[in-house]
Amino acid sequence: MRPDVLIVGAGTAGAAAALLCAERGMRVHCIDARPLESAGARWVNGVPGWAFDEAGLPRPEPPERLDVDVRFHLIAGEGPSRVTIEDHGLMEVDMRRLVARLQSAAARAGVTFQEQVRVLGFDGETLETTAGPLQAGVFVDASGLRGARLLGSPPVPRDRLCAAAQELRRVRDDQAARAFFAAHDVRPGDVLCFTGLAGGFSITNLRYDGEHLAILTGSIPAQGNPSGPVMVQDFLRRSPWVGERVFGGARAIPLRRPYAVVGRGRVAALGDAACQVHTAHGSGIAPGLIAARMLADALAADEGPAGYNLRWQRRWGGELASAEVFCRFSQTLTVDDVRAFAESGIMGPRLSRAMLAQRPPLEGVADLPRSAWGLARNPALASRLLPVLTRMARARAHYARYPRDPEAVPAWAARLDRIAGA
Ligand X SMILES: Cc1cc2nc3c(=O)[nH]c(=O)nc-3n(C[C@H](O)[C@H](O)[C@H](O)COP(=O)(O)OP(=O)(O)OC[C@H]3O[C@@H](n4cnc5c(N)ncnc54)[C@H](O)[C@@H]3O)c2cc1C
Q: How far is CA 238 from CA 175, 197, 414, in A?
A: 16, 15, 48
Radius of gyration of the chain (CA): 21
Output the smallest distance, CB 390 to ligand X, in A.
27
Contact criterion met (CB below 8 Å) for 92 and 190: no
Contact criterion met (CB below 8 Å) for 34 and 57: no
Sign of CA dihedral 290, 296, 302, 305: positive
Q: Which long-range contacts (CB under 8 A, 24 or more apart) does 223-230 make?
A: 223/159, 223/199, 223/331, 224/199, 225/198, 225/199, 226/198, 227/163, 227/165, 228/162, 228/163, 228/164, 228/165, 229/163, 229/165
Other C-beta atoms within 10 Å of 410: how many?
Answer: 12
Which residue's CB is nearer to ligand X, number 96 or number 391?
96
Q: What is the dihedral of CA 145, 321, 205, 271, to 10 degrees?
A: -30
Contact with ligand X (CB under 6 A) among 19, 119, 134, 231: 119
Output the smallest distance, CB 405 to ligand X, in A.
28
Sign of CA dihedral 145, 148, 152, 155: positive
Contact with ligand X (CB under 6 A) among 30, 41, 242, 354: 41
Output the smallest distance, CB 42 to ligand X, in A.
9
Which residue's CB is nearer to ligand X, number 134 or number 340?
134
> Rule CB under 6 A: is residue 355 a binding residue for ligand X?
no
Output the smallest distance, CB 153 to ligand X, in A.
13
What is the contact mask toward ligand X in residues 64 to 93, using x (rule: CB under 6 A)? ------------------------------
Contact criterion met (CB below 8 Å) for 264 and 305: yes
Which residue's CB is nearer to ligand X, number 117 or number 375?
117
Contacting range for ligand X; rule: CB under 6 A; set: 153-161, 162-170, 190-198, 346-354? 162-170
Output the smallest distance, CB 117 to ligand X, in A.
6
Contact criterion met (CB below 8 Å) for 269 and 141: yes
Region 273-332 residues binding ligand X, contact defined as CB under 6 A: 273, 277, 282-286, 288
> Rule CB under 6 A: is residue 227 a binding residue for ligand X?
no
- What would the DSSP string read from start to end of 94-155? EHHHHHHHHHHHHHHTT-EEE-S--EEEE-SS-EEETTEEE--SEEEE---TTS--TT-PPP
**How far is residue 129's CA from residue 142's CA, in Å, rounded to a whole number?**
15
User: Number of residues in contact with ligand X, rule: CB under 6 A?
Assistant: 42
**How far is residue 412's CA from residue 240's CA, in Å, rounded to a whole number?**
54
Contact with ligand X (CB under 6 A) among 21, 43, 169, 311: 43
Output the smallest distance, CB 327 to ligand X, in A.
14
What is the contact mask toward ligand X in residues 238 to 277, using x (rule: CB under 6 A)? ------------xx-x-----------------xxx---x
Contact criterion met (CB below 8 Å) for 342 and 76: yes
Which residue's CB is nearer to ligand X, number 186 or number 216?
216
Output the smallest distance, CB 354 to ligand X, in A.
16
Output the smallest distance, CB 207 to ligand X, in A.
12
Q: Sort residue 286 into left (φ over 0), alpha (ψ -120 to 50) or beta.
A: alpha
Residue type, position 341, single letter: F
Which residue's CB is nearer to ligand X, number 166 or number 313?
166
Q: How far is CA 253 from CA 14, 53, 156, 283, 290, in A?
A: 17, 24, 10, 8, 18
Contact with ligand X (CB under 6 A) among 18, 19, 76, 142: 142
Output the smallest distance, CB 97 to ligand X, in A.
14
Region 185-224 residues binding ligand X, contact defined as CB under 6 A: 216
> Rule CB under 6 A: is residue 143 a binding residue for ligand X?
yes
- Per-residue DSSP letter, 156: P
> Rule CB under 6 A: is residue 371 a binding residue for ligand X?
no
> Rule CB under 6 A: is residue 148 a binding residue for ligand X?
yes
Contact with ligand X (CB under 6 A) among 3, 40, 304, 305: 40
Q: How far is CA 310 from CA 240, 375, 404, in A?
A: 52, 37, 7
Which residue's CB is nearer to ligand X, number 134 or number 375?
134
Binding site for ligand X (CB under 6 A): 8-14, 31-34, 39-41, 43, 45-47, 118-119, 142-144, 147-148, 164-166, 216, 250-251, 253, 271-273, 277, 282-286, 288
